[in-house]
A and B are shown apart, each in its own frame.
Chain A
Amino acid sequence: MLTIGAVCEAGKSRLNKTGSWRDYYPEITAKCTGCGICELFCPDSSITIIDKKCIINYDYCKGCGICANECPKTAILMKEERK
C-alpha cells in the first residue's frame, strides 16, 4: 500500500547502495592524521574515524572527491574506478 504523500519509515536510503555510481574512489594514504575533517564534509556520511583512522564505506561513497579536496594533509587520493 502506498502511503499518503509518500511518507514512509526512516532509513530507507540504506537500501540504495549508491557506491555503484562511482567513477573515482578515494584512497587513504599514510599521511592521514585522523583529524576527522573529511568525516564532517562527506555529503554521503560514508566516512567514519575509528581509532584516529579514516574508514570509508564504499557501499555508499559516490566518489565525489570532496574529502580529498578538504583534507588539510592531502592524505586522500582519488583513483579511477575500474569495474
Chain B
Amino acid sequence: MSRTAVMEGSFAVAEAVKACRPEVIAAYPISPQTHIIEELSKYVADNELSSKYVRADSEFSAASIVYGSSGTGARSYTASSSQGLLLMTEVLYAMAGTRLPVVLTGVNRTVSAPITIQPDHQDTMALRDTGVIQIYVENIQEAYATHIQAFKLAEDHDILLPVMVCMDGWILTHTFEPVKIEEQELVDKFLPPFVPKYRLDPKNPLTYGSYGDDEVPEFRYMMHFAMEKAKTKIQLIAEEYKEIFGDYFGGLTEAYKCEDAEIILVAMGSVIGTIKETIDQLRSEGKKVGVLKVRTYRPFPAEEIFEIVKNAKIVAVIDKSISVGQGGQLATDIKAALINKKTPPLVYSCIAGMGGREVNINTVKYIINKSENSLITNQVPDIDYIEIKRQYLE
C-alpha cells in the first residue's frame, strides 16, 4: 500500500530517489538543494539504502564521480543548485555526449551576482544546450513522480541521456505538502534494474571519451535524435506511471482550460499552481483564459505547443530567467515554435520572478489584463519586465 504523509519537498524527492535504488550518489551541499542529499546520506548511514554515498569536494567532482559510476553501469544520482550546477556544466556536456543516464535534481536558484539564495530559472537555463533532458515540475507530488520517471527515461536504450528534474528552490523544496509515497514493490515493477549498453570493466576494457576527429556532427545528430525520441518516451512513461500509481502530471505539457481560451499563459515550474488558481477565478468571471504548462523544456515540444495554442489570440509567456541581450528563453522558443505557422497567436513575453521576486495572483492578473489590452490595440510589447521597480533605475 502506498502511504500519504505530510512532508517537506526535499524529503519527498529523497524518498523517490531511495525508491529508485541508486547504486551511487555523489553530491556537494548547496542551498536550497542540501536537504535532499542530507536525507539520502542519512538513509545510507541508517542502512535503509544500500548506495555508495560520496560527499565530493565540489560539484565538479560530484558530477565527475557519477559520470564514472554511471560508466561502470551503476544507477547514479546527484543534485545541485545555482553556482553548483554551473560548476557541473563541463561534466554535464561530457556526460550527455558519452550518453550516460545519470539523474540529477536541479533545484532552481538564482545565479550570482548579485548573490541571493532565492529561486529563479537562470541556473538550469544555462544548462539548456548541454544535451541533458530537462523536466520542470509544478508541485511536490509531481517532483516525487518525475524522479521515478526520470530514471526509466534516462536508462532507456533509445534515449541514454542524463535527465535533470528542475524544481523551484524553497517554494517546492522547503514547503510541506501531503505526499503519496508509493509501495517499493510497485516502484521496482515500474523501474527494473539498470541494464547498461556498455560497462567500464577492467576485464573487458573500453575507451570512454574517445577522439572524434571527423564524426562530431554525427554524434551531435545522434543526441538530437535521441531527444526527439524522448518526446514519445516521456509521454509513454507518464502514462505508464498513471496506470500503475494513478497520478498524472502531463507528459511534455499539460494544458489547463486551454480548449476555448483566447488568452493562454505559458510557464514552467511552481508558478503554474498560482496561474491555475488565477485562471479559475477569472473563468468564474467569464473570461476565456487558460494556462499551458511546459513540463519538458528539453526536448522542446514545439508541435504539441502549437496544437494547444493555435486557436488562441494571444500567448503570454512567463520567463523566470533572461538571456541577457536577447530576452526570455521560453518566450524565444515559443516564438520559434509558431514562426512558420499560418495565423499564429501573438506572443507576449513577460520576464517575472527573477531573483525570487514573488509572482502572485495579482501579477498573473496584471499579465492577463495587459494581454487583453494588447488584443484591443493589436500591439504587443516585445518584452515586458513585470513589476520592475523603475524608481531604482532613474
Contacts and interface: CB of A to CB of B under 8 A. Distances in A.
Interface of A: 2-13, 16
B95 to A, nearest CB: 9
B317 interface: no
Interface string B201-215: 000011111111001
Interface stretch (B11-19, B82-90, B97-105, B187-195): B97-105
A4 B197 contact: yes
A13 B98 CA distance: 18
A16 B205 contact: no
- Report which residue of B160, B206, B215, B218 has the largest number of chain A beta carbons within 10 angstroms of its beta carbon: B206
Secondary structure dominating the interface of B? loop
B98 A7 contact: yes
A6 B205 contact: no
A5 B98 contact: yes
Nearest to B161: A5
B244 interface: no
B126 to A, nearest CB: 23
A18 to B, nearest CB: 11
B215 A2 contact: yes
B66 to A, nearest CB: 15
Contact of A9 (B98, B206, B218): B206
- Report which residue of B208, B210, B212 has the largest number of chain A beta carbons within 10 angstroms of its beta carbon: B210
Q: How many of chain B's residues touch chain A, expressed as a range?
A: 10 to 19
18 contacts: A4-B198, A5-B98, A5-B99, A5-B198, A5-B208, A6-B210, A6-B212, A6-B219, A7-B98, A7-B198, A7-B206, A7-B207, A7-B210, A8-B207, A10-B207, A11-B205, A11-B207, A12-B207
A2 B198 CA distance: 14
A38 B70 CA distance: 34
B45 interface: no
Contacts, number: 49
A4 B222 CA distance: 8
Interface of B: 97-100, 160, 197-198, 205-212, 215, 218-219, 222
A10 B210 CA distance: 9
A62 to B, nearest CB: 15
A2 B206 contact: no
Contacts of A7: 98-99, 197-198, 206-208, 210
Given A7-B98, A7-B198, A2 B208 contact: no
Closest 4 CB pairs of A and B: A5-B99, A10-B205, A5-B98, A7-B198
Contacts of A4: 99, 160, 197-198, 222
Contacts of B209: 6
Contacts of A6: 97-98, 209-210, 212, 215, 219
Contacts of B211: 12-13, 16
Contact of A8 (B100, B160, B210, B222): B210
B206 A8 contact: yes
Contacts of A2: 215, 218-219, 222
Nearest to B212: A6
Contacts of B215: 2, 6
Contacts of A3: 198
A10 to B, nearest CB: 3
A8 B215 CA distance: 13
B158 to A, nearest CB: 10
Given A4-B197, A10-B206, 13 more contacts: A2-B218, A2-B222, A4-B198, A5-B198, A6-B97, A6-B215, A7-B99, A7-B206, A7-B208, A8-B210, A11-B205, A12-B207, A12-B211
